[in-house]
Amino acid sequence: MVDVALGDRSYKIYIGDRVLHGIAETIKEKCGSVRAALITNAKVWDYYGSQVVEALDVEGIGYELILVPDGEQAKSLSVAEKVYGELIEKGFERKDAIIALGGGVVGDLAGFVASTYERGIAYVQVPTTLLAQVDSSVGGKVAVNHPLGKNMIGTFYQPSLVYIDVATLSTLSERDYAGGMAEIIKYAFIKGEPLLSLLQERKDEIQARDVDVLSQIVMMSCSIKAEIVEADERDLGLRAVLNYGHTLGHAIESVSGYQYNHGEAVAIGMVFAAELSERLGLLEKKDVELHRRVIDMYGLPSSMNASSIDEFMKVMERDKKRSMGGHVFVLLDGVGNPVVRRVDDNDLIAALEAFLKEG
């Protein structure tokens, strides 16, 4: 279990194997709710709906099922409006709760709805993907997309609890599982030991989805994120280090038309950030090679080819405007020591041209 200490917004992250049956008892204890809106998609419902409903029935918690579309299309104001409508029609009040059962999209949508419905209703994150378990379900950033940008409409709203069952990871595709591993690798490079050694020494067990090792690395990742969120809940400074690999990563997602998923793009972005750190005299070459080795180890891309950097620069230019005039990168001043730096255009262009050429 991991504690996220945020005063009156504090909550616990419960982590275990085959523990969905205990979720309702925990919800009753932490939220005091006897009625819940269960927000999920059809695919996740087919996998895990019966387990959650059985647990709710045992504890006498009534529920209403609200199904949303699968994929990024669900993170929209139009889908949020439909969810609001169902909550209103079914008579949900502030004393009730919302359960987000699914990956990051479901969690973001349900959290955003919870933060705004009747000025705030309790919600519980039950993430079923590795990416959501170690990243989006923790920290209280909830949002929907706008046609002009991802996550542009959102709030900071902490869940009442996060309930992680690593058994749900058995149904993930190889690609989605690897994508989640990219975020865990990110934590290893920004924090260092012992997670970094664990990823290298127990790679075969992790790749085989051994639940004991998975529980361990998920808990370590959540602990790292919780520590950073506790220090900077509103993303005003330190929390930026969680964006290691994300500056170029977001550009890769956009320029490729999302042919790379988030984890794959972040993996490439981390190698670039490491190379940029070396170029600026912050990181040794052996640590850049360590990035490539660990990322390759988990079947993630560590490079890419592109004939021109223009499109990447355009996307990063938008980020530059939003960060008040400089290309802001999270770099490493040694493994385990992230720093936030503004990078000169000439340095960035030279590094990007070299990186994309060698890919």
- CA 303, CA 270: separation in Å to the nearest integer? 10
128 is in an annotated binding site: yes
262 is in an annotated binding site: yes
Taking alpha carbons only, the member of 172, 97, 96, 80 closest to residue 134 is 172
In the 3-class helix/strand/coil scheme, how is 54-95 assigned residue by residue? HHHHHCCCEEEEEECCCCHHHCEHHHHHHHHHHHHHCCCCCC
The torsion angles phi and psi of 72, rounded to 5 degrees, stand at -60, -25
53 is in an annotated binding site: no
40 is in an annotated binding site: no
170 is in an annotated binding site: yes
141 is in an annotated binding site: yes
Taking alpha carbons only, the member of 118, 55, 33 closest to residue 83 is 118
214 is in an annotated binding site: no
- Residue pair 143/151 in contact (Cβ under 8 Å)? The answer is yes
331 is in an annotated binding site: no
- Residue pair 107/136 in contact (Cβ under 8 Å)? The answer is yes
194: cis peptide before it, omega within 30°? Answer: yes
246 is in an annotated binding site: yes
155 is in an annotated binding site: no
116 is in an annotated binding site: no
335 is in an annotated binding site: no
- Residue pair 35/8 in contact (Cβ under 8 Å)? The answer is no
26 is in an annotated binding site: no
73 is in an annotated binding site: yes
257 is in an annotated binding site: no
Residue 243 neighbours by CB distance under 10 Å: 22
CB neighbour list of residue 338: distance below 8 Å, 6 or more residues apart: 190, 241, 244, 330, 331, 332
Bridge partners (DSSP) of residue 329 are: 341
Q: Is 217 exposed, middle or buried (0-12, 13-18, 19+ CB in 10 A)?
A: buried
Alpha carbon distances (Å) from 295 to 244, 291, 351: 14, 6, 20
- Residue pair 302/276 in contact (Cβ under 8 Å)? The answer is no
70 is in an annotated binding site: yes
Kindly report the CA angle at 92 between 103 and 63, in degrees rounded to 5?
55
106 is in an annotated binding site: yes
109 is in an annotated binding site: no
72 is in an annotated binding site: yes
105 is in an annotated binding site: yes
- Residue pair 130/120 in contact (Cβ under 8 Å)? The answer is no
Q: Which residues are annotated as a binding site for Zn(2+)?
A: 183, 246, 262
Residues forming the annotated binding site for NAD(+)?
70-75, 104-108, 128-129, 141, 150, 168-171
Binding annotation? 70-75, 104-108, 128-129, 141, 150, 168-171, 183, 246, 262
